[in-house]
Structure 1
Amino acid sequence: MTAAYLAAFIVGGIAVLSALFLVDFGHGAGHDGLPFLSLTGVSAALLGAGAGGLISSWAGFGAVGSGLVALAAAVVLMLAFQGLLLPYLRRQESNSQKSRSSYIGLLGTVTLDVPVGSWGEVAFVDSEGNRVRARAITEEPDVLTKNTSVYIADVDADYLHVVAVPDH
């Protein structure tokens, strides 16, 4: 029986890591209806059953006791993943996507000259109040020198696209 728990632990551990790192866990099978039937939920249950069964059988609980501990550990770990870990990870995922596009329209200051045809650096405060430094490029005809006020007009994967803001 210990071999079965060991196999469940190994397969569950690999499946949990795969689900967290390789699969888009925020969407998919079971997410809309029965979240515990998702790949991550089943993987977490398998990992919990393997870990609980191994520990309880090593502690000498017997077949029935180990089975009950394995079942309880499976339920607890599945609920912990579905109720605590995955919502946190989904929130982080959506925040990182939102924050980059939310830079458009903000004002910043050049901290490293932005030459024509190359990149420099700008600093600004994002919508959540965090100070951000990012690489920037411009289509302006002249170099944007240090301390120039800029407007963030667009973003892409590598750079912020900025334009100079005239001083009044």
Structure 2
Amino acid sequence: MEGRTTALRRATRSSTPTAYERAASAMPDSQTLFIAVGATGFLILLLSLVLGELGGHDGELGGHGDAGGPGDLGHEAGSPGGPPVDAVGHIPDGSAALDAPTWFSIRVLAVSLVGFGAAGFIAVAAGGPALIAWPVAAAGFLAVGAATHRFILKPLARQQYNSLTSRYGYIGRTGVVTLDILPHGTGQVTFHDRAGARITQTASSDHHEGVPKGTAVTVVDLVDGGVLVHRSAFSD
């Protein structure tokens, strides 16, 4: 009888989890951690895209964002909000590199987190030990971040920069009003860019005055969705 009681106590102790076992069971497993990291990266990426559309640029932990957002318009070349210019007033060809996204871009870091979570989850799901899954996840972080930075974000930034600097070439061009510019409103102006191409833009007057069709004007600045023009003196 005593032997049976002792055996029962031992079985009860062995079936009761220890404090260490309870803590270990409460901790999330590797797959859960990788899913959480990947989901966090995806949410950060989604949020940065929404804020980028609203604010006109990509957030940078280092202090600057992607080039060419709508918020950059309305600043002349060389001004604090506009692109840099050289000694003769031209925008240097290499200036696009100054506005290219860096590894400190929120979007690059967010995509890297997605790569980290995906690579780690796949490694664990394939049956690999956790000791191998974490280095694989780190490799996924670097590979996905580098590929996104090199083949997606930098080409997009270059394209946006080229488009913006092309528009800055409109400043100083002389054109003709082709649709009456309303007082405190807009109209339409046509002019030729530096390459000789015919350009038609929505226009508003720098003095908020009405400018009739056929009036000669000069483009003096850029605004969202169009240009700001000044009525030429000889047209009065």
TM-score relative to the length of structure 2: 0.52
3-state DSSP of counterpart to 1:29: coil
Partner amino acid, structure 2, of 1:15: I
2:168 pairs with 1:135: no
Q: Which residue of 2 aligns with 1:107?
A: 174
Alignment partners' CA distance in 2, 1:43 and 1:119? 41
Structure 1 pair 117–62 and aligned structure 2 pair: CA distance change class (3 A) = closer
Residues 219 and 227 in structure 2, CA contact (< 8 A), matched pair in contact too:
no
Q: CA deviation at 1:78?
A: 1.1
Counterpart position of 1:2: 31
Instruction: Answer yes or no: is 1:44 the counterpart of 2:77.
Output: no
Instruction: Report the count of equivalent residues.
Output: 163
Encode CA deviations 1:91-146: one digit per residue, 9 max, x unaligned. Answer: 3454455455432211233231224554211133444657342232265987421x
Verify the 8 A CA contact 1:106 1:152 in the aligned structure 2. Answer: yes
TM-score (norm 1): 0.67
Q: Does 1:62 align with 2:116?
A: no
Would the aligned equivalents of 1:112 and 1:122 in 2 still touch at CA under 8 Å?
Answer: yes
CA displacement 1:130-166 (0-9 Å, x = unmatched): 7342232265987421x54432134445751232485
Does the CA-based 8 Å contact 2:175-2:218 persist in structure 1?
yes
> What does residue 17 of structure 1 align with?
46
Call closer, same or farther: CA 1:148–1:14 in 2, change over 3 Å.
same
Query: Once the two structures are aligned, what percentage of the paired residues are identical?
Result: 28
Unaligned runs of 5+ in 2: 1-29, 65-97
The CA deviation at 1:36 is 3.7
Residues 154 and 160 in structure 1, CA contact (< 8 A), matched pair in contact too: yes
| 5+ residue gaps, structure 1 | none
* Distance change (3 Å), C-alpha of 1:122 and 1:152: same
Larger Rg: 2
CA distance in 1, matches of 2:37, 2:202: 45
The separation in 2 between residues aligned to 1:124 and 1:150, in whole angstroms, is 9
The whole-number CA distance in structure 2 between the counterparts of 1:30 and 1:159 is 29
Higher mean displacement: 91-100 or 67-76 = 91-100
Rounded Cα–Cα distance in structure 1 between residues aligned with 2:113 and 2:187: 50
| Residue pair 1:140, 1:163 contacting (<8 A) in 2 also | no
Whole-Å separation in 1 of the counterparts to 2:58 and 2:208 = 42
Greater percentage in strand: 1
